[in-house]
Amino acid sequence: MSDFSRRNFLRTTAAAGLALPIAGRPEILSGAPHSGPDRPATPSDDPLGIRDEFPVTRELAYLNTASLGPSSRPAHDAMVAYAEEKMMYRDPGSRPETRARARASFARLFGADEDEIAFLFSTSDAENIITDAINWRPGDNVVVDELHFTTTFVLYREIERRLGVELRVVPVSEGRTTVDDFAARTDVRTRLISVAWVSNRNGYRHTLPDLAEVAHAHGGYLYADAIQAFGNSATDLHEEGVDFACGNGYKWLFADFGCAPFYVRREHLDWLEPDRFGHRQVAESLPDHRFRLRENAQKYEHSNPSFGAVAAMDAALTLIEGVGLARIEDHTVKLAGELRSELVDLGFDLFTPPRNPSPIVSFYHELDPDALYEGLREEGVPITFQEQGRLVRTAVAMFNTRDDIDRLLGVLSGLV
């Protein structure tokens, strides 16, 4: 890597936490094939029996799902089928059926009722809907922590500027924040606690029922950005106690951008008004150009969805349901734990706390960045660099194996 390209890498990754860039794919680190193409998987190197559904595994030890989940074969095929349908105008009536099936699958998988689920375009849409509906008054506050995603800070700093609402930020210590940290900053003027359920920075997983208890004790609400949680752990949203949660299809659900499942606990549907309006919210047309609008979570779906993304979500959820969220969690958390332990043995400074039940592991390094870049590229190990390249974030997905972990550790052990 030249000095010029290295400086550009450090500059572009500083703020956004992106992976090393390659042409056309700024978040993915490329790698040369590690083994021959189309090598069939065996039970010993395919514990969940799904690697054939992820063609990316033929060439890469892909440890970057926290940045971008590769499309599964069923999701890819569903998007292609939709494109063919649109191109040839075949069976357009199947689209409502696909949306309904995907909504039912998501509700069943994640412990919600179908009428509590909307499909938005992004997690940012969800948090904007929530904050727009809250009747903020000067002196109110919202509590977040340093492990949250950038969008949240942009949103609440703007609310702070416009409405006189205080943003209270819980500092991180040893890779985590505690319920007590939140409780110490929560009072009768706290309208909302907002967290990244699983942090994009280091994978720290919050215990939502405890945070919900803190928020509700003061009459506030709990929102969870679930984009790093949906798809990698067994979840019952009703039991979690969270008031609102939203994820998206393009990470751990292995679908695509543009279909963001938004959960609104039933008791909040009456007062949580949409922040925009359109024809998709109409439940009944009335005389004189008047309308009765939907009253369930579909009232947040104001316009036509991204039909291809919904088709991908439908297929992806069917695949995940077939594997089982509990099996996925057992497999990925175990592998992530092994990776964390061996990184400690190699002397790396772990940003992810121990015994953390998520598949994300982040660590600081003091290695030569050129050598690290080349080693990862040659071994075909995509990961994400953050904090000007000093922090490495890895993500263990359901298709990953011990061999993938060993490929990463082999590169690192050769450089320490």
* Per-residue pLDDT reduced to its tens digit, 341-361: 999 999 999 999 999 999 999
- Say what percent of the chain tops pLDDT 90: 85
Mean pLDDT, the chain, integer: 90
Residue 7 has pLDDT above 50, yes or no: no
Last residue in a domain, options 322, 355, 383: 322
Query: What is the predicted pLDDT for the residue at 39?
Result: 45
Are 143 and 31 members of one domain? Answer: no
Give a yes or no: residue 65 inside a domain: no
Same domain, 124 and 186: yes
Number of domains the chain is built from = 2
Residue 102 located in a structural domain = yes
Residue 44 is predicted with a pLDDT of 55
Q: What is the length of the chain?
A: 416
pLDDT band at residue 94 using 50, 70 and 90 as cut-offs: low
Query: Domain boundary at 322, 345, 369, which?
Result: 322
Residues 342 and 193 in one domain: no
- Looking at the fold, whether 297 and 204 belong to one and the same domain comes out as yes
Domain CATH code at residue 17: 3.90.1150.10
Q: What is the mean pLDDT of residues 175-181?
A: 97
pLDDT tens string 106-124: 999 999 999 999 999 999 9
Average pLDDT over residues 137-154: 97
Helix locations, 234-273, DSSP H: 237-240
Closest by CA position to 98, among listed 279, 278, 316: 316
As a whole number, mean pLDDT of residues 82-86 equals 91
Instruction: Tell whether 169 and 281 lie within a shared domain.
Output: yes
**Owning domain of residue 182:** 79-322
177 lies in the same domain as 309: yes
CA distance 239 to 250: 25
Given 305, 322, 339, the domain boundary residue is 322
Task: Answer yes or no: do 148 and 279 share one domain.
Answer: yes
Specify the pTM. 0.89
> Quick check: is 73 in a domain?
no
CA distance 23 to 30: 9
- pLDDT, one tens digit per residue, over 217-251 is 999 999 999 999 999 999 999 999 999 999 999 99
Q: What pLDDT digit, counting tens, does each position of 14-37 carry?
A: 333 444 433 223 333 333 333 433
Task: Tell me whether strands 221-225 and 190-196 are parallel, antiparallel or unpaired.
Answer: parallel
